[in-house]
Amino acid sequence: MPGKKKDNDDFFSGVYEVTSMIPYGRVTSYGAIARYLATGRSARMVGWALNVSHTRPEFIPAHRVVNRNGELTGRLHFGNSGTMQQLLENEGIRVEDNTVVDYRDKFWDPSKELR
DNA sequence: ATTCTGACAGCAA
DNA sequence: TTTGCTGCCAGAA
């Protein structure tokens, strides 16, 4: 019987795919990705997927994914220091108080932009 | 097997 | 407007 336990990996792959498609200097939210994957409100799963994204061989710009508030809630998972903020600022995104400045302007909606 | 937590978000009061 | 609870799915204890 083909495929069974790895069925949900499709969701993970989708998260990685969308995350990798986030343009340079742009950010998106967990909910936006969840919505694009038609997973509804399972935004927490997106975070879980990104949590294990570091186990993936490919580079996942998870630093471009923040919560709906534009806050870098996952910064602690990047390392001990402000690695996430460093990466974002390196792309021209200004971060202030763990929050993306002009988040609304930098926001990239996969459901809308990526279509 | 049951319970709690987690890179969130929506809705009720 | 802010605060708090609930829903979502999966994994660890």
Closest C1' nucleotide to A9's CA = C10
Sign of CA dihedral A95, A29, A76, A22: negative
Task: Give the nucleotide at minimum CA-to-C1' distance from A52.
Answer: B7
Segment A3-32, tens digit of pLDDT: 444 445 778 889 999 999 999 999 999 999
What percent of chain A has pLDDT above 70?
91
> Does A74 contact strand B, using a CB cutoff of 7 Å?
yes
Q: What is the pTM of this model?
A: 0.90
Name the phi and psi angles at A35, rounded to 5: -70, -40
Query: Across residues A69-90, what is the average pLDDT?
Result: 90
Nearest to A31 by CA among A107, A85, A91, A105: A107
pLDDT of residue A8: 53
Q: Is the CB of A13 under 7 A from strand B?
A: no
Q: Which CATH architecture has domain A9-104?
A: Orthogonal Bundle (1.10)
* Domains of chain A, residue spans: 9-104
